[in-house]
Amino acid sequence: MGLAALTAAPSLLAASHKTHSKHAPNATERRRSRFLNVPLVTHEGKIVHFYDDLMKDKTVLINFMYASCADSCPMTTSNLKKVYTALGDRVGKDVFMYSITLDPEHDTPHLLKSYADLFKTGPGWTFLTGTKDRIEQLRANLGYKNSDPVADKDRTQHIGVVKFGIERLERWGMAPALGSPVAIAEYIDWLEPGAKQPSLEILRGRYEDPGNITMG
């Protein structure tokens, strides 16, 4: 049962809980409980556990893709390649990039390996697959879920956003996966403690005509 369903009738469910328990989860328990620790397979054929091996203590960027999506996935992946470059030598050291397939039945580790090779990705950027159930659970867990079931079935609805965060500090943000690569790398800086703030140039902004104007 999802959170939304529970909030529908809080009074009924609350009755089953008496009152506050004294035990508060510590930060380690809290962090661990946020993400599923599902097993996944990397494009290099390694079996990893999502939280323990991929998330814990790391700064990460996560997106969903699938190899047979030719509309925007290749553009997204090549844009993330630019993010990868913009992050410089941090990738693989303290920043890790994960691209998870939405089509695990077809995107085998080998296929993902070819996909990674095609885009000439390097260390610190892992493509991931797994069983269909696990991937679906993970997708919901990470918020790549539309409460409209029709839209939720449409895979293209889940590929436009890259989620990033500092797991150790429990700080999470998101950006359009096709956004400016330098900007996406900068957003990660903006999450860091004591780090830089938007420059005057960004505050002033750059005008982009959305094509929504009529005179008078």
How would you label 146-157 residue by residue, b for 16+ Cβ within 10 Å and e otherwise?
Answer: eeeeeebeebeb
- Of 60, 82, 158, 188, the one binding another protein by CB under 8 A: 158
185 forms part of the interface with another protein (CB under 8 A): no
Secondary element (H or E) of residue 99: strand 95-101
Contact residue for another protein among 88, 93, 114, 189 (CB under 8 A): 114
In the structure encoding, which two tokens stand for residue 188, read together?
A: 């990660």
Q: Give the residue among 56, 69, 5, 3 at the shortest CA–CA distance from 27.
A: 56
Contact between 212 and another protein by CB under 8 A: the answer reads yes
- Which residue, 62 or 87, is less far from another protein as judged by CB? 62
- Rounded Cα–Cα distance for residues 103 and 112 (Å): 11
In the range 13-72, which residues lie near another protein by CB under 8 A? 13-25, 27, 30, 32-34, 36-41, 45-49, 51-53, 66-71
Beta-strand pair 125-129/161-166: unpaired
CB of residue 216 to another protein, shortest distance in Å = 6
Residue 194 binds to another protein (criterion: CB under 8 A): yes
Choose between 90 and 141: whose C-beta lies nearer to another protein: 141
Among 85, 93, 118, 122, binds another protein (CB under 8 A): 118
Give the burial class of 201: count Cβ atoms within 10 A of its Cβ; 0-12 exposed, 13-18 middle, 19 or more buried. Answer: exposed
C-alpha span between 51 and 167 (Å, rounded): 10
The residue from 85, 88, 93, 105 that contacts another protein (CB under 8 A) is 105
Give the total of residues touching another protein (CB under 8 A): 115
Q: Which stretch binds another protein (CB under 8 A): 82-90, 91-99, 124-132?
A: 124-132
Shortest approach of another protein to residue 196 CB, angstroms? 10
Other Cβ atoms less than 10 A from the Cβ of 60: the count is: 18
